[in-house]
Structures are given as C-alpha cells and as structure tokens.
C-alpha cells in the first residue's frame, strides 16, 4: 500500500500508565494519514499528516500497523539493524501548520531533516 489512513482512538494504556494505546475506553479520536516516500531493504520512509494531535499519536498508530518508528524504545523494540547507528527516534516534524491561538491567523513552519537523519538516508546500505 502506497498511502492510507489510520483511524483509531487513542487513550492511556491501563497497564502502563505513562504510555498511550489504541482503545475505546476513555479515548479520543485520532487520525493519521500516511504516504510512502521511499522503500528500502529493511525500512520505509513515510510522510505523515495528522488530522488530530494526540499524545504519542504517530508512534502508537505506526506500532498498531506493525511499522514502528526506528529507534523508538517505548512503542518499538528500540533496536536497529547492525551498522545502523541512530541515537534517537527517526522521527522529524518537517512541517507544522496551525491557527494562532489569539489572532486565528494560519501559521506555517518548515524545518529540513537534521544532518544526523539525513546522513542515514544518504547511505541507503544502512536501510
């Protein structure tokens, strides 16, 4: 599948109170749209668009479909392939857009992929 949506409510995990999970108990609607940007031998680079902004939404939704964020110690294994050095989660907010809370004006921000993550994408043998 090259694109799709994950529509699954998110709430606090009753067993691990510091984590979130997909649940219908005391949950809130959560929708994440995804599109495949590139497929590698062992990983897939996704562009995600959130309709909602729930705590840990990206990490919980990707875990639910079996595609954990690389390097995520809470919702993934935290392990990475041998030779792949990731000091943090491979997760980056490239673009943010929201209405200013006072003026209501649309605010848009973009940030390029940080050098440490870009270096990994540049060496496709790692992925």
Given this model, what pLDDT does residue 96 score? 94
**CATH topology (fold) of 3-126:** Pseudouridine synthase (3.30.2350)
Given this model, what pLDDT does residue 66 score? 92
- pLDDT < 70: residue spans in the chain: 78-79
Q: What is the 3-state secondary structure (H, E, C) of the chain?
A: CCEEEEECCEEECCCCCCCEEECCCCCECCEEEEEEEEECCCCEEEEEEECCCCCCHHHHHHHHCCCCCCCCCCCCCCCCCCCCCCCCCCCCCCEEEEECCCCCCEEEEECCCCHHHHHHHHCHHHC
Q: What tens digit of pLDDT does each residue of 70-100 get?
A: 999 999 876 677 778 788 999 999 999 999 9
Given this model, what pLDDT does residue 85 score? 79
Given this model, what pLDDT does residue 78 score? 67
This prediction's pTM: 0.89
Given this model, what pLDDT does residue 75 score? 94
Domain map (residue ranges) of the chain: 3-126
């Amino acid at each position: 599948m090259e694109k799709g949506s994950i529509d699954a409510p998110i709430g606090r995990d009753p067993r691990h109170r510091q984590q979130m999970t997909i649940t219908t108990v005391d949950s809130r609607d959560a929708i994440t749209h995804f599109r495949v940007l590139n497929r590698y031998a062992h990983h897939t680079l996704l562009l995600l668009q959130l309709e909602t902004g729930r705590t840990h939404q990206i990490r919980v939704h990707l875990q639910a479909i079996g595609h954990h964020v690389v390097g995520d110690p809470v919702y993934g294994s935290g392990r990475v392939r041998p030779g792949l050095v990731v000091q943090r989660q491979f997760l980056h907010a490239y673009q943010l857009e929201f209405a200013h809370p006072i003026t209501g004006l649309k605010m848009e921000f973009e940030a390029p992929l940080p050098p440490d993550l870009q270096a990994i994408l540049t060496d496709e043998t790692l992925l």
